[in-house]
Chains A and B, each alone.
Chain A
Amino acid sequence: MFLLAFLRSPAPSPTREEFERAALPHLPEIYRTAVGLLGGNRTEAEDLSQDVFLEAWKSFHRFEPGTNIRAWLHKILVRRTSRFRQRLSRLLPFGNKDETRDDIPAEEIAVEVEVPDYLSDRQVVQAVANVPPPFREALILADVRGFSYQEIAGMTGAPIGTVMSRLSRGRRLLREGLAAVAEERGLGGGK
């Protein structure tokens, strides 16, 4: 009897229907963010998106109803992407250096990237995917998903200053990347 009572949780567990109702509408967004974070690797992005939802389901009891489930799913995604990259970097002989600088002037951070209209969506996504990981992460979370510095710092575990630094650097690298793509195709006027 004691065993049965113990096995039955006193707190009601959330149902799968509840989870699916709350989380599944964000699946396309999570997948697309994963594509960007993983540098355009769509196969890995598909697997990673599934893992994110599975992890979210397993820890759904920790999620407080009424809070931002979108940000929570993105946080899981960012952590998983980071772990994935760490595993990958152990297999690769060289990795990208995580360059950070905390003394970025505010006006430099505010400068958004102007994306030429003549580039296709696919080319734009690929240009973002070509930005090195830590800068790309900040770029996608801030400029594509619209999360605040505070939220990004919470997701990535990096200080706000580092987030700002990475974002600034990410924007600059994206600007250079877009210019290169345009130039390659003879569409733009260079950098």
Chain B
Amino acid sequence: MNQRLQHAFENEPVPRDLEAQVCARLAASAPGGRWAGWRRALAGGAVLAVMAGLWQYTAHRRLDELLRVGLDDHVHCGIAGGYPHMKQRLEMTAGLGPEFAPMLQPVIDRAAAGRATPDTVESAHRCTVNGRAYVHIILRRGDTLISVIVTRRTADEAFPRTLAARLIRASGVELHQESLEGYAVAGFESGAWLGYVVSGLPAAENEALAARLAPVVRRFAL
């Protein structure tokens, strides 16, 4: 060691507030542990995963509730057989009422699109299930009944997005589909209404049908 050089360096003045600045920066900084970064990242990830899981669970329950609104009517009228069987078109349009009568033919046309044997119309009526009013068209495809349902939605009824349920976009309409009690239930929002296509068809077939019908329903259910 060179005494003279050391002496010269020891006489170099140190900024008066340097220690205070260092202490302030130390106080503002957390110490690192061997796994501190990983621990924090993992803990953050776990919290996020739990929150996301809770959010998904809640959203999925809400989606189930909303899809059951359509399923209830399908089961009540179609499966339990309580629907009025109709043969005449006039009867059907009268059953739908002036507001939804013009929707009948476009629904039939769209459902039949691309099919060798068009679906037959079993009924078109208004009904009430569990105190809720529905506009209900029932089609038959072979042995399977298909319900096209419209019901007024309340202010708090909106389809949540979930990872578990399928979300399909058809001409600007977001369709949510799930299998409930052995039925394929597709639901969508349409202005002040909720629309449904419910059937015993395979999920993909019901989904394709709902994607064709949803834009039509949307033209009338505003």
Contacts and interface: CB of A to CB of B under 8 A. Distances in A.
Interface string A102-146: 000000000011110100011011001000000000001011111
Contacts of A33: 9
A9 B36 contact: yes
Contact of B32 (A11, A32, A58, A124): A58
A124 B18 contact: no
B163 interface: no
Given A16-B26, A32-B9, A144-B5, A9 B15 contact: no
Contacts of B143: none
Interface in A16-72: 16, 19-20, 24, 27-28, 31-33, 35-36, 42, 46, 49-50, 53-54, 57-62
A7 interface: yes
Contact of B26 (A46, A57, A128): A57
A10 to B, nearest CB: 10
A144 B22 contact: no
B1 A124 contact: no
A3 interface: yes
B31 A58 contact: yes
Contacts of B23: 20, 24
B7 interface: yes
A14 B26 contact: no
B219 interface: no
A9 B39 contact: yes
B222 to A, nearest CB: 49
Interface residues of B, number: 33
B14 A32 contact: yes
A88 to B, nearest CB: 22
B29 A57 contact: yes
Given A7-B39, A53-B26, A128-B5, A16 B31 contact: yes
B8 A115 contact: yes
A33 to B, nearest CB: 7
Interface string B25-56: 11101011111100100110011000000000
Nearest to B26: A57
A94 interface: no
A98 to B, nearest CB: 22
Contacts of B46: 3
A176 B154 CA distance: 91
B42 A6 contact: yes
Contacts of B181: none
A80 to B, nearest CB: 14
Among B1, B4, B19, B46, max chain A CB count under 10 A is at B4
B130 interface: no
Contact of B33 (A9, A36, A143): A9
A58 B29 contact: yes
A125 B12 contact: yes
A143 B5 contact: yes
B2 interface: yes
Contacts of B34: 11, 61-62
A122 B7 CA distance: 11
B6 interface: yes
Interface of A: 3, 6-7, 9, 11, 13-14, 16, 19-20, 24, 27-28, 31-33, 35-36, 42, 46, 49-50, 53-54, 57-62, 112-115, 117, 121-122, 124-125, 128, 140, 142-146
16 contacts: A6-B39, A7-B39, A24-B22, A28-B14, A33-B9, A54-B25, A57-B31, A60-B32, A113-B2, A114-B4, A122-B8, A124-B4, A124-B5, A124-B8, A143-B5, A146-B1
